[in-house]
Chains A and B, each alone.
Chain A
Amino acid sequence: MEETKELTINMGPQHPSMHGVFRVEVVVDGELITEVHPSIGYLHRSFEKMVEARTYAQIVPITDRLDYVGSALNNVGYCLAVEKLAGIEVPERAQYLRVIAAELNRISSHLIALMASGLDAGALTILFLHLQPREKLLDIMEKLCGARLTYNYARIGGVSGDIPPGLADDINAFADDFLKTVEKLKRFFFGSRMFRQRAEGIGVLSREDALSYGASGSTLRASGVNFDVRKAQPYLVYDRIEFEVPVGSAGDSYERALLRVEEMRQSVFIIKRALEQIPEGRVIAEGVPRLLAPPPGEAYARIESPRGELGFFVVSDGTPYPYRLKVRSPAFSNLSTIEAIGPGCMIADFVITVGSLDPVFGEVDR
C-alpha cells in the first residue's frame, strides 16, 4: 500500500517573492499549507551593537539602513529618542518639515508594499502603475534632502535643511495629482473582482492574535483595533493636524492592502495641511554640540512607521556614545504573525499573505 506524505518545501531566502531574504519552511499537503516555520537572520548586520561605538550624530545615517523603504521615519524616530534624552527643544518649523518628509516617505513606502501585492498575485503591470507616482515622489525627496532612498534628513535638534523655494508648490501639485492616482489604483486593481477573489478571506488574523503577537500598523488596524501612534500618543505636531485613521474589521490580506491605499490618501491630506500651517523660523535647534553627550539616563520614543509602531530605546551613560540602543521593530512583530495565519493557506495565498504583512528585512533582522 502506497501512502501519501506531506511535503516540506523550503521557500527563500532566494525565492522570487519572499520579500527580501525571508526563509520559511512550509509543510504542504498537496497545495494546502499545514505548518509554517519561519527562519530569519539572513540580513543581520548587528545594528544595535555597531552603534555603541558611534557618536549620537553618526548613528543617524545608519538608521536609514534599518527600514530602507521608510528611512525618513527611522531618522525621525531615533532623533526623537535622543532629543528626549538630552532635553533638546526642536524648532516648530523643523517639526513640520519632519512631518512632511515622514508622510511623503510613508506614501512611497506604501506604494512599494502595494506594488508587491500586485506582483504576488501575478499582475505584473501593477508594478509600473505604482512606480510612476513613486518616481515623482523620489524627485521631490531628492530636492528636499539630496537623496532618493536613504534620506538622512532628520538631525538631532531639527532637520538637515530648509525646504527649497518652490518645492512647496511642487508638493501641492503632486498631492492633488496623487489623489487621482489613488482612485485609479483602487478602481483598476484593488477594487477589481479578480484581486478580491485572490486576496479576500485569506491569511485572516484575529484581533486576539494581532494583539498577542504585538502587531501594529495596518496589520493591527485591519484586524479591527484602532491604534495609531500618531493619534494614541501624538508626537511632533500630529495633534495639530486633522486626519483620519482607517480601521478595518476582516483582518484578511485584502483588508491590509486596502487600508494602505486609504492611508496614502490620509497622508496626502496631512502633507497639504502641514504645508498650510508651517510657520517661519529656524530648522535646527541652536547650541546642539557636535559631540553630544546626554546626561546618564534612558529614553524611549515611538512613532508610526509605514509598518507600524517603531520604537527607539536609548540608554546613555554620560559619554558621547550610547550605552545601549534597542529598536522595537514593527516589521518583526508583524512578520511573526505568519506562524498563526500561514497554516490553512494555499501556496499561492501564502505568498500574498506574506506580502500583505509588508516586511522589510533591513528592519526585521537589523
Chain B
Amino acid sequence: MNVDFTAGSLLVPAAWGLGFVLFSALNVMFLVWMERKVSADIQSRWGPMVRGYHGSMQLLADMVKLLIKEDILPAAADKKMFALAPFLVFIPALLALLVLPIGPGLIARDMGVGLVYYLAVPSLASIGIFVAGWSSGNKYSTLGGMRSAAQLISYEIPRSLSVLGVVMLAGTLSMMGIVNAQKSLWFIIPQILGFLVYYIASIAEVGRTPFDLPEGESELVNGYFTEYSGMRFSFFMMGEYVALLVACLMGAVLFLGGWRGPFGLLPQLGPVWLLLKAYALVYVAMVVRWTLPRYRIDQLLEISWKVLLPISLINVALTAAIVFVGGEWLRGLLG
C-alpha cells in the first residue's frame, strides 16, 4: 500500500469535505426559509416575519428547538437500523457534490465517469428511506418505505436515460467536460425533451409534491419518518433539501451551461451563475409543490413507465441519429 498520510495530502480532501458540509448546511437553511416564503406568497400569507429580517433567523430558532427535543426511540423499532437510517439518507445526497463543477477548473474530483457517479450515488438514499420505514416498526412507515422503493426505482430509469443525450452531444462522461462542451450552446436547447424528463424525474426522486407519496401526510401521517423526532428528524429534512438542491445544481450543470453566464457574460462570476440557475430550478419545484395535488401510487408509476420512459427513449434515438448523421457539423456548432 502506498498511501500518503502526511498532512499536506489529507488537507485538501478535508477542506473540500468541510466545505461541502458548510455549503449544504447554509443552503438548507436558506431553502427552508425560501420554501416558507414561497408557500406564503402563493397562499397570500406573510410567512415567518418575527425573528430577524423577514423571519430570516427563524430557522436558527427551529434548529435549537429540534436540538433540545426529546429523542424518541419507539419500543417496536429495530434500534440500530433506526439510528442508522437518517445518515443513510443524508450522506448520499452530500456525496454527489464531489463531482459538481463549481467554476472553471474548480471541482473536487473530476472523474472520467462523473455523470455515472452522480446518477448512482444519490439514489443510494432510497436504501436509507426503506431502512427508516422498515425499522420504525410502524405500519405507516413501512408503507411509506415501500412506496419510496417502488417510486425511486421507476424514476431512476427515465432519469438516467434523459441524460444520455447530453453525453452523446458532449462526447464525455466527465462533468467538467460536459460544461466545457456547452461553450456556445446550452444543452437545454437541443435537449429540451431530455431536460423536461430529467427535471420531472428529479422532483420524483427527491420526493416532492406531486410525487411526495412516501411521506404523503394526508394518507400515511408522515410516511417513512413518522416515528422520528428531534435531530434525527432534522437529518431527514436536511437530506431532502440537499437532494433537491443537488438535483437542481446538476440540472444546471447538465442542461443550463453550469457556471457559464448567458452569452458568456461576466465569466468571473462562475459559481454565482451556477447557484442562480440552480435556485431558479428550485423555485419552480417549490411553486409546483404548493400548487398541485398529489398523485396516487399507480398513477405515479404509470407516468414513469408510460410517459417519461418512452419520451426519453425517443430523445435518445433522435439525438443518436443527429449525432450519427451530422457529427462534424454539430461539433463545429458546439465549438
Contact = CB atoms under 8 A, between A and B. Distances in A.
Contacts, number: 74
Centre residue among B139, B213, B292, B297 by max chain A CB count within 10 A:
B292
A245 interface: no
Interface string A3-42: 0000101000001110000000000000100000000000
B293 A122 contact: yes
Given A125-B290, A127-B43, A31 B297 contact: yes
Contacts of B205: none
Interface string B304-326: 00000000000000000000000
Interface string B133-156: 000000110010001000000000
Give the interface size class of chain A.
Answer: 20 to 34
A338 to B, nearest CB: 16
Contact of B44 (A17, A128, A198): A128
Given A9-B139, A31-B297, A351 B290 contact: no
Contacts of B217: 16-17
A157 B107 CA distance: 82
Give the interface size class of chain B.
Answer: 20 to 34
A123 interface: yes
Nearest to A14: B221
A237 interface: no
Centre residue among A121, A124, A125, A128 by max chain B CB count within 10 A:
A124
A194 B44 contact: no
B45 interface: yes
A17 B218 contact: yes
Contact of B293 (A7, A31, A118, A347): A118
Interface in A88-132: 118-125, 127-128, 132
Given A9-B140, A197-B299, A121 B294 contact: yes
Contacts of B139: 7, 9
Given A31-B143, A121-B294, A198-B294, 16 more contacts: A17-B217, A17-B218, A119-B218, A121-B218, A121-B293, A122-B210, A122-B293, A125-B43, A132-B44, A195-B293, A197-B296, A197-B299, A198-B293, A198-B299, A347-B220, A348-B296
24 contacts: A7-B139, A9-B139, A9-B140, A16-B217, A17-B217, A31-B143, A31-B298, A120-B218, A121-B294, A122-B293, A123-B294, A124-B43, A194-B293, A195-B293, A197-B296, A198-B294, A346-B296, A347-B143, A348-B216, A348-B218, A348-B296, A349-B296, A351-B218, A351-B219
Interface of A: 7, 9, 15-17, 31, 118-125, 127-128, 132, 194-195, 197-198, 346-349, 351
